[in-house]
Chains A and B, each alone.
Chain A
Amino acid sequence: MKQNNMLAMILAGGRGSRLHELTNKVAKPAVSYGGKYRIIDFPLSNCANSGIDVVGVLTQYESILLNSYVAAGGRWGLDARDSGVFVLPPREKADSDLDVYRGTADAISQNIDFIDKYDPEHVLILSGDHIYKMDYSKMLAYHNSCKADATIAVIEVPMREASRFGIMNTDEEGRIVEFEEKPAQPKSNLASMGIYIFNWKLLRKMLLADMKDSDSNHDFGKDIIPSLLNDDKRLYAYKYKGYWKDVGTIDSLWEANMDLLDSDNALDLGDSQWKIYTEDTTTLPHIIGPDAVIKNAYITQGCMIDGEVRNSVLFTGAKVGAGAKIIDSVLMPDAVVEEGAVVTRALVADRIRIGKDAIVGSADSENIELVAKRVKGAE
């Protein structure tokens, strides 16, 4: 905290229902990605690498795994004195009943006491669902140099897609003059990344007012940002360049994994100066059998490959039997593809077994097939 007087709050309560069975039992931030990671490793590692050492994680939906996962702050180096990752699910208080978080802003409002304990100058609000690398200390420096009341990270999106995002319209100095949520006729292509730096005193005041407003959705995009603009506060857009992905659907989660097969991909997980940290498992390095064929693949520890893997990503402990073929697919942790089975354009969920000689997915399917149940093979 002392380093930069900024505390981070990660919104990690969402289900991500378009990920279907993948989020039946875990919240979206805990979904596996990139062979050995979980999505929330990205904001947490970014915090650790940016010198932010107090991080609150706001959890709500199916939070058992997520709570225990993030509570081990040592994984990201966030375990020094006066440092830590704090799990903040909704709670009962002396002056209010147990209630769910009603919106992104409400999740912060209900934890004003937690933030006050650290008395930060700035609060960084992050989403637990996005895959990207960002140095938040640079964003804070920008925020300070603009003498801003709030700074919002934005990314340029193709104009034709701009109507899917919250769009920031700025003046030539980068000050935000207008915010439009999913505009039909976008005036700019600067999309909000859901990353905000606020001066805590101001945000605190806004949140207290928002809590009492019965018409509010208690949402940063819908309520807090518009009312700051209304009050003529200084809001600045911080332009981010680089890899950023919100993996909302099975197709986009698959695609984000496939991105890693491009050796020039902007995410560059191999960068030793900005590592993404994750849970340390005790698995062996990956083991490649005598008849294996591996072309264009991203493979991590604990995998055992006796078959053929092409253009695919294999997560911790995935197994590919002899004669099996994995093509354009993602095998999540501990997925097993038995001998002779063929998996094409599919995403096989954690611990799912695909039986001998079974055929899953097809090369000309429009969407990626999610395999979340055991597939029986030949007896």
Chain B
Amino acid sequence: MSSALGIVSFSGSHIYVEGLQDYRSIGAFSFLGRYRAIDFPISNMTNSGIDRIQVYINQMPRSLVEHLGTGRHYNINSKRGRLHLLFPLFNGSNPIYETDIAAYMNNLPCIENAHDEYVVIAPNYMIFKQDFDELLQKHIDSGADITLLYHTVDNAREAYLNCDMLTLNRQKGVLSIDKNRGNAKNRNIFMDTYVMKRELFIELIQKAAKLSSMYTLPQIINATCEDLDIRGVAHRGFFAAITDLKSYYDSNLSMIDAKTRESLFDEDWPIYTRTNDSCPSHYFDTASINTSIVSNGCLIKGAVENSIVGRGCTIENGAVVKNCVVLHGSHIGENVHIENQIIDTFAKVIHGQEIIGAPEHPGYIRKDDLL
């Protein structure tokens, strides 16, 4: 059992995923048909022996709360461990006040009353695999005050916009944390993942709250870079930040490639999720499918290519689904031809028509919509 308290944070108000986020927070976004984004940070924690986990929920809580439930499916010891859902009470109608610091201040007693020496903080909108126990050990061994996890990318001009990035010195000391504005291609994207002593964490959030109501955790840490020993640790393996429709679409479809998939999923590092008890999927004689990932409970009569199909979808006779992310419960009617789209849950596309988007700008079909 780890000596760290796990904290799952939410995406700040600078991130908005068109369409999808109108219905749920990014942590509740479906990933690869079967999972939700938040399954990754929580499974990373429980696999690392972190059994006491606080999940901060800022907006549209229904689908996230439904999914998390008691947290039993995450393999948390039901007596010693706990999945604690915390709902900050943001006052004021301006989203600028809905910061992570405000959420932590709002629930300060829950953080103060924890007994763990350390905190490990990870976001609910980034998909990656990380052994936090190993990261904690690295942190302790280095003697640093704060350890930050980052991923080096070479496409920061067009991707990871609005994410934070780290500027490091040669010894991996963090010099600053700034926003990625897309003005260089090689960047160290900050994964919103922190390790520090719980006491220091409390000190920082109190200090930030005093300085400005708009302050965020990365901002206060940036402001203390000169006084504290803050170090970066590079992450290896698959990394995706879901910050817009394109990154959501790409990260899902990228899983079709075996090598990419294996850099995220590992038999010895299971990703837990809530079971829906769906029956297996049924392919009919008329089906034709390749290069796809399909969840249970589907009825497939048409053609599917290079797509992710969620639980309980129906693809009718003569339909063609290509380069799509189809979320659970959707229905693609007879002879519908649909390409480069994200189809949100329980949408019905039934009238024979062509809906073809550009792969660079995938289209979005609303939840429960009838087309």
Q: Which positions in A face B, CB cutoff 8 Å?
A: 34-36, 74, 260-261, 263, 269-270, 275-278, 280, 282, 284-301, 309, 313-314
Identify 29 residue pairs between A and B in the complex whose beta-carbon atoms are under 8 Å apart, listed by A's number: A34-B279, A35-B280, A36-B279, A36-B296, A263-B282, A270-B297, A276-B277, A276-B279, A277-B277, A282-B271, A282-B272, A284-B32, A284-B34, A286-B293, A286-B294, A287-B293, A288-B290, A288-B291, A288-B292, A288-B293, A294-B289, A295-B283, A295-B285, A296-B283, A297-B283, A298-B280, A298-B283, A301-B280, A313-B280
B33 at the interface (CB under 8 A from A): yes
Shortest beta-carbon distance from A74 to chain B in Å: 8
- In the A-B complex, the 5 residue pairs with the smallest Cβ-Cβ separation, listed nearest first, are A300-B280, A35-B280, A282-B270, A269-B279, A280-B275
B287 at the interface (CB under 8 A from A): yes
Contacts of B90 in A (CB 8 A): none
B340 at the interface (CB under 8 A from A): no
Chain B 29-42, CB within 8 Å of chain A: the 1/0 string? Answer: 00011100000000
Q: How far is the CA of A309 from the CA of B292 in the complex (A)?
A: 15
Contacting pair A36 B271 (CB below 8 A): no
Most buried by B among A35, A275, A285, A292: A285
Contacts of A300 in B (CB 8 A): 280-281, 296
Q: How far is the CA of A131 from the CA of B292 in the complex (A)?
A: 32
B32 contacts which of A278, A285, A294 (Cβ < 8 Å)?
A285
Contacts of B290 in A (CB 8 A): 288-292
Contacts of A293 in B (CB 8 A): 288
- Chain A: which residue is nearest B301 at the CB level? A263
B73 at the interface (CB under 8 A from A): yes
- Chain B: which residue is nearest A292 at the CB level? B290
B295 at the interface (CB under 8 A from A): yes
- Chain A: which residue is nearest B282 at the CB level? A298
Most buried by B among A260, A276, A282, A287: A282
Most buried by A among B265, B270, B292: B292
Q: How far is the CA of A300 from the CA of B256 in the complex (A)?
A: 17
B-side binding surface: helix, strand, loop or mixed? loop
Contacting pair B284 A285 (CB below 8 A): no
Contacting pair B279 A270 (CB below 8 A): yes
- Chain B: which residue is nearest A265 at the CB level? B282
Q: How far is the CA of A287 from the CA of B265 in the complex (A)?
A: 13
Contacts of B280 in A (CB 8 A): 34-36, 260, 269, 298-301, 313-314
Q: How far is the CA of A62 from the CA of B277 in the complex (A)?
A: 27
Contacting pair B275 A284 (CB below 8 A): no
Contacts of A291 in B (CB 8 A): 290
A-side binding surface: helix, strand, loop or mixed? loop
Q: How far is the CA of A284 from the CA of B285 in the complex (A)?
A: 25
- Chain B: which residue is nearest A45 at the CB level? B277
Q: How far is the CA of A269 from the CA of B272 in the complex (A)?
A: 24
Contacting pair A284 B293 (CB below 8 A): yes
Chain B 293-310, CB within 8 Å of chain A: the 1/0 string? Answer: 111110100000000000
- Chain A: which residue is nearest B33 at the CB level? A285
Contacting pair A288 B281 (CB below 8 A): no
Contacts of A301 in B (CB 8 A): 34, 280, 295-296
Contacting pair B281 A280 (CB below 8 A): no
Most buried by B among A34, A270, A291, A313: A270
- Chain A: which residue is nearest B308 at the CB level? A285
Contacts of A314 in B (CB 8 A): 280
- Chain B: which residue is nearest A74 at the CB level? B72
- Chain B: which residue is nearest A301 at the CB level? B296
Q: How far is the CA of A314 from the CA of B283 in the complex (A)?
A: 11
Q: How far is the CA of A182 from the CA of B107 in the complex (A)?
A: 70
Shortest beta-carbon distance from A79 to chain B in Å: 10
Q: How far is the CA of A36 from the CA of B292 in the complex (A)?
A: 20
Contacts of B297 in A (CB 8 A): 270
Q: How far is the CA of A327 from the CA of B289 in the complex (A)?
A: 17
In the complex, besides A270-B299, A286-B295, A314-B280, 14 extra interface pairs with C-beta distance below 8 angstroms are A34-B279, A35-B279, A36-B279, A261-B282, A275-B279, A284-B261, A285-B33, A285-B34, A286-B293, A288-B292, A290-B290, A292-B289, A294-B287, A298-B283
Shortest beta-carbon distance from B255 to chain A in Å: 9
Contacts of B261 in A (CB 8 A): 284, 287
Q: Which of B246-274 contact A (CB under 8 A)?
A: 256, 261, 265, 270-272
Contacting pair B295 A296 (CB below 8 A): no
Shortest beta-carbon distance from A295 to chain B in Å: 5
Contacts of A282 in B (CB 8 A): 270-272
Q: How far is the CA of A275 from the CA of B276 in the complex (A)?
A: 10
Contacting pair B284 A263 (CB below 8 A): yes
Q: How far is the CA of A260 from the CA of B284 in the complex (A)?
A: 11
Q: How far is the CA of A146 from the CA of B295 in the complex (A)?
A: 46
Contacts of B287 in A (CB 8 A): 294-296
Chain B 9-41, CB within 8 Å of chain A: the 1/0 string? Answer: 000000000000000000000001110000000
Contacting pair A280 B283 (CB below 8 A): no
B293 contacts which of A278, A285, A297 (Cβ < 8 Å)?
A285
Shortest beta-carbon distance from A43 to chain B in Å: 16
Given contacts A294-B287, A301-B34, contact A286 B281 (CB under 8 A): yes
Contacts of B279 in A (CB 8 A): 34-36, 269-270, 275-276
A288 contacts which of B32, B272, B289 (Cβ < 8 Å)?
B289
Contacts of B271 in A (CB 8 A): 282
Contacts of A294 in B (CB 8 A): 283, 287-289
Most buried by A among B275, B281, B288, B291: B281
- Chain B: which residue is nearest A309 at the CB level? B283
Shortest beta-carbon distance from A22 to chain B in Å: 20
Q: How far is the CA of A313 from the CA of B32 in the complex (A)?
A: 23
Contacts of B294 in A (CB 8 A): 285-286, 288, 299
Shortest beta-carbon distance from A226 to chain B in Å: 40
- Chain A: which residue is nearest B281 at the CB level? A299
Contacts of A35 in B (CB 8 A): 279-280
Contacts of A275 in B (CB 8 A): 277, 279
Shortest beta-carbon distance from A82 to chain B in Å: 18
Q: How far is the CA of A301 from the CA of B271 in the complex (A)?
A: 14
- Chain A: which residue is nearest B264 at the CB level? A284
Contacts of B32 in A (CB 8 A): 284-285
Q: How far is the CA of A34 from the CA of B288 in the complex (A)?
A: 22
Contacts of B265 in A (CB 8 A): 284
Contacting pair A290 B281 (CB below 8 A): no
Contacting pair A299 B283 (CB below 8 A): yes
Q: How far is the CA of A236 from the CA of B278 in the complex (A)?
A: 36
Q: How far is the CA of A297 from the CA of B292 in the complex (A)?
A: 16
Contacts of A298 in B (CB 8 A): 280-283
Contacts of B256 in A (CB 8 A): 287
Shortest beta-carbon distance from B369 to chain A in Å: 21
